[in-house]
Amino acid sequence: MKRLIGLLTILITVLGVACYVAQNLTPPENLHPLGEYYLENSYFGEHSAKSPEAVTSILWDYRGVDTLFETAVFFLAIIGSLTLFRLNKEQAEEAKQGEPKPQLPEPVVVVTKLTVAMILAVSASIALHGQLTPGGGFQGGSALAVAPLLVIAAYTKYALEKNGLDKTRAIIIRSIGLLGIALTALTPLLVSGYIMQNQPIFPAKALGVPLGGSLVLYNLFEYLAVGAGFTAVFLLLSIPEEKFKKFLGVRR
Amino acid sequence: MNTLFTLGAILVIIGGICDLFGAIGLLKFPNFYIRLHAATIGTIGGAAVPLFGVALLALSTNIPNKYAIAGASLITGIITLLAAPAGATALAYAAHKTNAVEWNPKTDHLKEARK
């Protein structure tokens, strides 16, 4: 009975607060001048990023250098974890030895195959539509990283490595992504003298699809770099504990 | 109202009932494996079936982008239909393999099959 009274009190309080907030929560009538500027200029206007998605154009164009440093922080974190798990050649070879056999019952394995294919498609669409719809490189890359994680869970990390995606390749793909971001940021320097400039150096449209100039390039490279960076970390984290204790020389 | 609308509404109502039963089962069932059954009722009966219902409802009306809504609901329903049993199987398998939960079976078909 006491619990019921407590429950009822909480329910009535939450409902009351919700009703109160809903009545007093009116949308603002006037836009902030800065917000108005971005809304007017992200697709039309003179200082335009030529992208209908205002958030992406702010992130990678108006506030691009800021995002560049944010990305650098994330990649330093990945480098840190890779350094923490550093192995020499024989140890890395030994970490790859194992049975690439599914660990889970048949239905789970089959569904995982289907899901992995769907995740690859969806993550690519999130990243490559970043200049048109909500989404972008980081979000798409994070979604992409779920695919190898699922493979590691349903099969083993050895299955992933036997099929060609080992730590070295993941780091190479990640480096290609980072190099792409750096080149895209530095190319305008050669043409006009500004770093990370978007229009009019990069094309705004291709085959009738708005590309947002450099936004699509940044999104693509960020997608590769984030996805592959997470994959490398997941591959290291999935090395069995016994093997790692052996590498580190931990006494039992 | 036409047949599609009625069918869709019935599916959505079935989904609500399944969700209610799943929630009651999750609270009242005695052990992990049977509670897992209640959880699956919540995901299949309570999420996949009403999504198919929503697809039919969207097709029966004249709202803009109705085919997009119907297609998205259908695909989400199919993905749920695939993923929920796989997740439940994986959970039950892991619990059985690690002996993590109490288990007092009346009949054990797995043991009989392994003999």
**A139 with A126: CB under 8 angstroms?**
yes
In this prediction, residue A178 has a pLDDT band, given cuts at 50, 70 and 90, of very high
Q: Which residue range is the domain that position A208 belongs to?
A: 1-248
Mean per-residue pLDDT, A40-58: 85
- Collect all residues of chain A within an 8 Å Cβ-Cβ radius of residue B86: 107-108, 110-112
Please report which helix (H) or strand (E) contains residue A155, including its range: none
Of the residues A103, A104, A106, A111, the best mutation for testing chain B's interface (the one with the most B CB atoms within 10 Å of its CB) is A111
Rounded-to-integer distance, Cα A149 and Cα A4, Å? 43
Residue B1 has pLDDT above 70, yes or no: no
Mean pLDDT score, A141-150: 94
Alpha carbons B83 and A115: distance in angstroms, whole number: 8
> Per residue in B68-93, pLDDT tens?
999 999 999 999 999 999 999 999 88
Q: Read off the tokens for A80.
A: 């840190």
Are B85 and A107 in contact (CB < 8 Å)? yes
**SS3 state at A206:** strand
Write the CB contacts of B104 (distance below 8 Å, at least 6 apart in sequence).
B31
Q: Look at chain A and report how many structural domains it folds into.
A: 1
The answer to whether B78 faces chain A, any CB pair under 8 Å, is no
Q: How many CB atoms lie within 10 A of CB A81?
A: 13
Nearest to B49 by CA among B13, B24, B20, B82: B13
Decide: residue B38, CB within 10 A, 0-12 exposed, 13-18 middle, 19+ buried. Answer: middle
Nearest CA to A59 out of A181, A232, A231 is that of A181
- pLDDT score at A146: 95
**Taking the CB of residue A232, how many other CB atoms lie within 10 A of it?**
25
CA B30, chain centre distance (Å): 20
Question: A51 falls in which pLDDT band (50, 70, 90)?
Answer: confident
Number of inter-chain CB pairs under 8 A, A vs B = 25
Chain A interface test: which of B79, B80, B81 (most A C-beta within 10 Å): B79
Q: Give me the mean pLDDT over the B49-54 stretch.
A: 95
The residues, ordered by sequence, that sit 6+ positions from B7 with a Cβ below 8 Å of its Cβ are B53, B56
Chain B: closest CA distance from residue A89 (Å): 34
Question: Average model confidence (pLDDT) for chain A?
Answer: 88
How far is it, in rounded angstroms, from Cα B18 to Cα A84?
49
Are A108 and B82 an interchain contact pair (Cβ–Cβ within 8 Å)?
A: no
The average pLDDT across B24-34 equals 90
More confident residue, A199 or A228: A228
What's the whole-number mean pLDDT along residues B46-57?
Answer: 94
| Alpha-carbon gap, residue B112 to B115, rounded angstroms | 5
Integer Cα distance of B54 and B47 in angstroms: 11
User: Over the stretch A83-125, which tens digit does the pLDDT of each residue have?
Assistant: 888 888 888 888 888 888 887 888 899 999 999 999 999 999 9
C-alpha distances out from residue A46 to A41, A43, A49, A94, A147, Å: 7, 9, 9, 58, 41
- Phi and psi at A210, nearest 5°, equal -65, 125
A162 burial level (CB within 10 Å; 0-12, 13-18, 19+): middle
How far apart CA B100 and CA B94 sit, in angstroms, is: 8
Q: Which member of A105, A114, A154 has the closest CB to residue B82?
A: A114
